[in-house]
Structure 1
Amino acid sequence: MRNNRLVRNVAVLFSVLFILSGCETFLEEDLRDQIATDNFFNSDQEALLASNGLYRILHRGSLYKTRGLDNYLVNGADEVGPSRNVNGNIHNYRIDEGIADGNGTWGGLYEIVRNSSLVISNIEGNEKISEEVRNQVLGESLFMRSLAYFHLTNLWGDVPYFRELLPLAELGSLGRTSKDQIRTDMKADLERAIELLPGNYDDSNLGRATKWAAATLKAKYHLFDEEWALALEESKFVIDNSPHRLLEDFAAVFDQEDISNQYNAEHIFVVDFTTDPVYGDGNTQRTDDYNPRLRDEPKNRNAGTPPNWQLLRDDLDALNQGMTGYGWAIPLPEIADQSTWQEGDLRYDATIVTEYLGYELSFPYFRKNWNLNNESPRGNHNENYIVFRLADVYLMAAEAENELNGPDAAYQYVNKVRERAFEPDMPWSGMSQQEFRENLYDERKFELATEGHRRMDLIRWGILLETVKNTEHRPWNNPGDNIQPYHVLLPIPESEILLNPNLLESDPTNNGYR
């Protein structure tokens, strides 16, 4: 079992650690050589270095750096599709054991679980570390482990579960534990994290998890488990007490062009990427999926003298911009069509773009995910991945209140989000509980498009299959023909089953894929 991805040798879990520096954010740090954990956790600095190592894992290509989690949180729903015949296994639901089964994502998430558990076991009660730092690092580790198990249980359901570091042989032979037990424990851990974590950090530590990030994750756990009262309570805690606020301009929430101003008051938790990092995974390529490529643009690109593509290139150059992306993650036809949005919804122009600098484009694109600035080059972007923001919390509160008591007290939360979406304002009123529920399906779609919520929303509402089947896709895609009821979960990765057959003990069908 020593080669099992889930059980890599914990003696070198922090094979690369980082020194805190006075850089703009805490993730811009100097590289150190390998450090054995037996000789670690002897000071505040070492505790913080260990915590930083947890954040670094989020930068993996299998998690937030590029498609990674987006493959299973964004793709295969009714928002994003490829502009050509790529990523077909995932988008077209040709998923099976050994085929797009999320093996890299599984491994990355379990590395967070293992490393978080290692930190917790070495920090808890460690008097060599000050109480302030000990509390912070414990809170961060509890949050990170809970975030990993949130994704693991959403994507695979019942999964191997541990909270303490086990002998390698035992770790490599674990069966699956009920996701209900795992999620119950994680909610308790998050309650503790909320108590331990600070409410904010100074500018040199932006990007670390706060008590508000822990509370938002806890609210999501409750929402997904249909614990409406607790979901509402946790959402209100964030809304009423945190320093976070909704920005007046929807587009400004996603503006990443100014490197010195990439955080804003609406962001609750982000994964912080930087251009030219001092370590390999610190930048992001996700933006390139959404940025156009000049070889596709503009429409009728070869017409005229000089040709339109050359004129567009010159106009972009004058702005120090470039269409240098892969250009394949584009809006599906329905969400790209402005007539499918409520009339007057200002979010459409901030989310979708069909023409630029006076040129009609060959494809629609997600403007909210663009960064054409040449200072953020292809394959080396510095954008933050927004994991949680306050508008999502308001919509969670609205959903929970409606499920508990009907829409009367739920309007205040959804209408707060809609205030900036419409001019003049278009508040909701006069709906039945069912009407409110169904309208919220679309409200979350338009407010949170491409932000990693949609597919899991459709699954927890029980409407993924019908939505995929009723969504218009492009000629080279046919997810509606292929999707099956069992696709609401992924199969346990084939490579893990080969190393650990116990993973099939509780479910020989492997989530229906056998």
Structure 2
Amino acid sequence: MKHLITKISLLLFGVLLLTGCGDKFLEEDLRDQIATDNFFTNDQEAQLAANGLYRILHKNALYRTRGLDNYYVNGTDEVGPSRNVNAQIHNYAIAEGVQDGNSTWAALYEIVRNASLFISNIEGNENLSDAVRDQTLGECLFMRALAYFHLTNLWGDVPYFRELLPLDELGSLERFSKDIIRAEMKDDLARAKQLLPPSYSDANLGRASKWAAAALKAKFHLFDKEWALAKDECDDIISSPQHRLLDDFASVFDQTDRTNQYNDEQIFAVDFTTDGIFGDSNTNRTDDYNPRLRDEPSNRNTRPDGPGTPARWQLLQADLQELDQDMSGYGWAIPLPELADQSNWDPDDLRYDVTIVTEYLGYELSFPYFRKNWNLNNSSPRENHSENYIVFRLADIYLMAAEAENELNGPGNAYFYVNKVRERAFEPDKPWSGMSQTEFREALYDERKFELCTEGHRKMDLIRWGILLDVVTTVKHRPWNNPAANIKPHHVLLPIPQDEILLNPNLLKTDPTNNGYRSN
């Protein structure tokens, strides 16, 4: 879908999509304005509607910049700021109205509203061909489930609806049990899995496939400790011919060729493109991880060849220019000290050099960086990057299967799954064996960190394992941050956004404490 995004008609954004709501569910009741009979009169209209859902994922509050990353990546034992920025989130200085995720909440409900409206108008629509009706319905079901996945992860119980409601009903909804929401999303994903094709090609790359639906369904099951169901979905994906583990770990993240940014390990990715017709078609998340030259290299003002000769930063800049590269990022999302320290990794773990960089082109750097996330090529300019955000990939599925099998039956058959991931990670090979169930479980804590760090999994992993507070209070942070002093048990969820409560006090009816952020 690298080029499809640039071709989306504005028609549906002006007529069909319920956008621009910002701090509330709806500004007006569009059900009173749009006749829903024969809402889509041909295949193209239904396809454009599905395309519009993917566009919402491009919002800054979701995948384009640090929207979801704020709550899935920061504040754990992986990423921290290189200076005193983003401190409220990293230091758990979160409250109603203070980094409470209001824009993320609004963007996710924008997906829910639009997907629900489209589902009701695609199902049984005889104006559509069978193939387009099945695919667009499957995509809408997947996208709505993805939105509720994030909503229930971040806020727990949330307002829930499956069809577009009148304004007065939307504006007075109470919170709904996340267990019921997630159960129904699993059912929707089972249906989506049957409707969606197993793969795409050319301009359709990036659309949700049946395996994307299976991966999301597996996540729901894993988070809910439904081990057998999680493993069934993982096994189904692993046995599919469409996806495989790449032989080289670095290749999974190679985004340098803008015409070839998908690979067989990716199951679902949010597709960004440089110079798209929409302002958020590209991504600037990369710049959080790209260094800025004003910081680099270490001892940057030293002149190795004596007074009057170029400083180290000038020498580095010249060497970068020879490669058509630059360090023009924000440079603040960097590895925490313990993750950056290679002595905390197995010495034979090849993933370290792909993940972490402390020296470049012969220059020691002032800070460590995430090599897997940066792109220094001038063809990928600042705030105009085309990199895909990988949401699900096969290595994660193998590790999920390993965890589920271990919880079900112990490590005996779980070794197969984790060792498949470790085969490419180590030279010489270092397969696991001889562990107890508890030892396997705890070893997987680190294995997922080393394999998947910065990919949006760590925070929820630590929460579902019940060890977030232990990890945050014991890992080493930099002097300008001290999350250990602030984190409390209620920080496993966000508070319902203050703006939403002001509009709808019913959001506090079932929980006056707002997830523990206020007293009764």
TM-score after normalising by structure 2: 0.94
The equivalent residue for 1:272 is 271
Partner secondary structure for residue 89 of structure 1 = helix
2:278 is matched by which residue type in structure 1? Y
8 Å CA contact 1:25, 1:207 repeated in 2: no
2:366 is matched by which residue type in structure 1? S
Cα offset for 1:146? Answer: 0.3
The equivalent residue for 1:3 is none
Deviations 1:260-282 (A, max 9, x none): 11000000000000000111110
Partner secondary structure for residue 64 of structure 1 = helix
Deviations 1:366-420 (A, max 9, x none): 0000100001100000000000000000000000000000000000000000000
Shift >6 Å, 4+ stretches: none
8 Å CA contact 1:273, 1:384 repeated in 2: yes
Distance in 2 separating the partners of 1:114 and 1:280:
23
Partner secondary structure for residue 246 of structure 2 = coil
The equivalent residue for 1:211 is 210
Distance in 2 separating the partners of 1:435 and 1:322:
44
Partner secondary structure for residue 502 of structure 2 = helix
The equivalent residue for 1:52 is 51
Aligned: 1:77 with 2:76: yes
Alignment of 1:19-38 (within 5 A): 25-33=3-11, 35-37=14-16, 38=34
8 Å CA contact 2:2, 2:273 repeated in 1: no
8 Å CA contact 1:26, 1:207 repeated in 2: no
The equivalent residue for 1:342 is 346
1:36 is matched by which residue type in structure 2? V
Per mean C-alpha deviation after superposition, the further-off stretch among 36-45 and 442-451 is: 36-45
Alignment of 1:98-117 (within 5 A): 98-117=97-116
Partner secondary structure for residue 498 of structure 1 = helix
Distance in 2 separating the partners of 1:35 and 1:261:
32
Alignment of 1:362-381 (within 5 A): 362-381=366-385
Partner secondary structure for residue 420 of structure 1 = helix
Deviations 1:10-49 (A, max 9, x none): xxxxxxxxxxxxx853222154245434375111000000
Give ranges in structure 1 of 5+ residues lacking alignment: 1-22
1:258 is matched by which residue type in structure 2? D
Distance in 2 separating the partners of 1:281 and 1:203:
22
Partner secondary structure for residue 424 of structure 2 = coil
Q: 1:499 aligns with which of 491, 496, 503?
A: 503
Partner secondary structure for residue 6 of structure 2 = coil
Give ranges in structure 2 of 5+ residues lacking alignment: 17-33, 304-308
The equivalent residue for 1:434 is 438
Distance in 1 separating the partners of 2:9 and 2:114:
18
Distance 1:35 1:130, change over 3 A: farther
The equivalent residue for 1:250 is 249
Distance 1:90 1:24, change over 3 A: closer
1:231 is matched by which residue type in structure 2? A
The equivalent residue for 1:322 is 326
2:479 is matched by which residue type in structure 1? P
8 Å CA contact 1:31, 1:278 repeated in 2: no
The equivalent residue for 1:400 is 404
8 Å CA contact 1:212, 1:242 repeated in 2: no
Partner secondary structure for residue 259 of structure 1 = coil
Distance in 1 separating the partners of 2:274 and 2:164:
35
Distance in 2 separating the partners of 1:31 and 1:208:
17
Distance in 2 separating the partners of 1:347 and 1:28:
35
Cα offset for 1:294? Answer: 0.2
Distance in 2 separating the partners of 1:438 and 1:135:
42
The equivalent residue for 1:6 is none
Deviations 1:187-230 (A, max 9, x none): 00000000000001121100000000000000000000000000
The equivalent residue for 1:286 is 285
Distance in 2 separating the partners of 1:142 and 1:215:
12
Cα offset for 1:343? Answer: 1.9
Distance 1:30 1:122, change over 3 A: closer
Deviations 1:281-321 (A, max 9, x none): 10001000000000000000000121000000011011000
Distance in 1 separating the partners of 2:441 and 2:473:
21
Distance in 1 separating the partners of 2:422 and 2:361:
29
8 Å CA contact 1:160, 1:174 repeated in 2: yes
8 Å CA contact 1:110, 1:148 repeated in 2: yes
1:26 is matched by which residue type in structure 2? L
Cα offset for 1:137? Answer: 0.3
Distance in 2 separating the partners of 1:443 and 1:172:
44
2:377 is matched by which residue type in structure 1? N
1:287 is matched by which residue type in structure 2? T
8 Å CA contact 1:199, 1:242 repeated in 2: no
Distance in 2 separating the partners of 1:401 and 1:24:
37
Distance in 2 separating the partners of 1:361 and 1:199:
44
Partner secondary structure for residue 55 of structure 1 = helix
Aligned: 1:385 with 2:382: no
- Provide the aligned C-alpha RMSD in A: 0.9
Partner secondary structure for residue 479 of structure 2 = coil
1:378 is matched by which residue type in structure 2? R
The equivalent residue for 1:360 is 364
Distance in 1 separating the partners of 2:284 and 2:76:
22
8 Å CA contact 2:9, 2:48 repeated in 1: no
The equivalent residue for 1:136 is 135
1:180 is matched by which residue type in structure 2? D
Identical residues among aligned pairs (%): 73
Aligned: 1:417 with 2:416: no
Partner secondary structure for residue 110 of structure 2 = helix
Distance in 1 separating the partners of 2:264 and 2:72:
24
TM-score after normalising by structure 1: 0.95
2:4 is matched by which residue type in structure 1? F
2:10 is matched by which residue type in structure 1? R
